[in-house]
């Protein structure tokens, strides 16, 4: 599915749907769900124009933010940072050069 500058692909692998992110812009939005059983890309929210990301870390002592950065960096294959929304579930992420 194509949503503006984002391309979201889903692949069916056994019983799991694996979501892949392809980022075309330097910044992108995410909506974080902390304290989840595992970290994963849960889908795309077309209304908010943001990826839904579940993170296994709790939202205390900045753990969820660190977990989000670690997970997205690994998933995208590059360094990312939180540009805004440090205390919010809705965050603006930025790809680092």
- Flag whether 85 is in a domain: yes
- Flag whether 8 is in a domain: no
- Flag whether 11 is in a domain: no
Which CB contacts under 8 angstroms, 24+ apart, belong to 47-53? 48/90, 49/3, 49/4, 49/6, 50/90, 51/6, 51/8, 51/21
- Flag whether 12 is in a domain: no
How many structural domains compose the chain? 1
pTM attached to this predicted model: 0.77
Spatial contact of 70 and 82, defined as CB atoms under 8 Å apart:
no
CA distances from 86 to 15, 18, 42 (A): 34, 27, 20
- Flag whether 20 is in a domain: no
The one-digit pLDDT tens for each residue of the chain (97 residues) are 333 344 444 443 333 344 556 566 789 999 999 999 999 999 989 899 999 999 999 999 999 999 999 999 998 888 999 999 999 999 999 988 7
Structural domain that includes position 87? 26-95
Please give the pLDDT value at position 67: 96
Distance CA 32, CA 29 (A): 10
CA 92 to chain centre: 10
Domain harbouring 54, CATH code: 3.30.1200.10
């Amino acid at each position: 599915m194509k949503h503006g500058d984002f391309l979201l692909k889903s692949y069916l692998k056994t019983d799991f749907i694996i979501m892949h992110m392809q980022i075309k812009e330097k910044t992108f939005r995410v909506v974080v769900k902390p304290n989840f059983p595992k970290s994963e890309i849960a889908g795309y929210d077309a209304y908010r124009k943001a990826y839904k990301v579940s993170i296994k870390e709790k939202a205390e002592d900045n753990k969820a933010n660190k977990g989000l950065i670690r997970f997205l960096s690994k998933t995208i294959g590059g360094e990312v940072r939180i540009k805004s929304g440090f205390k919010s579930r809705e965050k603006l992420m930025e790809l680092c050069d």
